[in-house]
Amino acid sequence: MTPSEQRQPGKEDSLLCPSYLAKPGAQLFGLVNAEGRISYLRHPITIDATFVQAARAGRPAEERFRFAGKCIQNGCHQWSDAKQACALVDRLIDQMEKTAEASLPACPIRSRCRWFRQRGQTACAQCDEVIRHKEITFIDALSAP
């Protein structure tokens, strides 16, 4: 994505949250592998209610799969009104402190990813370790007194 593509009007409305829930209409874009990292699919798959029901059997689907969905901006508790940006990716980058590699792994949602739009390759460097249940635990730890 070129810098001019990143700044086109209306593009913000079509960005995807890469830390979405398993619900009908979400896009499955990665699988949690044996090392606890995300293995990205070549193309995202839009999931339906049947998939969600089957995926929720046993442990939470978000512990086994990675989903993307429409970024709802200030409708999300991770949104910073002050920055007009997703605060979660900033906290992940600060906490994980991983630097971007020279070449990024193939990602089927990068062109529409909120985190990539906001923080570029640095966001991508953290992404393969973000698993939703870990995110919730991480956010709880940040919020603890």
Q: How confident is the model at residue 131 (pLDDT cuts 50, 70, 90)?
A: confident
Going through the chain in order, the beta strands assigned E by DSSP cover: 16-20, 27-32, 38-46, 65-70, 79-80, 85-86
Q: Count of domains in the chain?
A: 1
pLDDT tens digits, one per residue of 41-84: 999 999 999 999 999 898 889 999 999 999 999 999 999 999 99
Residue 40 in contact with residue 107, Cβ under 8 Å? yes
Mean pLDDT (the chain, rounded): 85
Tell me the pTM: 0.80
Tell me how long the chain is.
Answer: 145
Which residue reads 């508790």 in tokens? 77
CB 41 within 8 A of CB 29: yes
pLDDT of residue 145: 59
State the residue range of the domain holding 24.
3-143
Instruction: Let me know: does 15 contact 85? Beta carbons within 8 Å.
Output: no
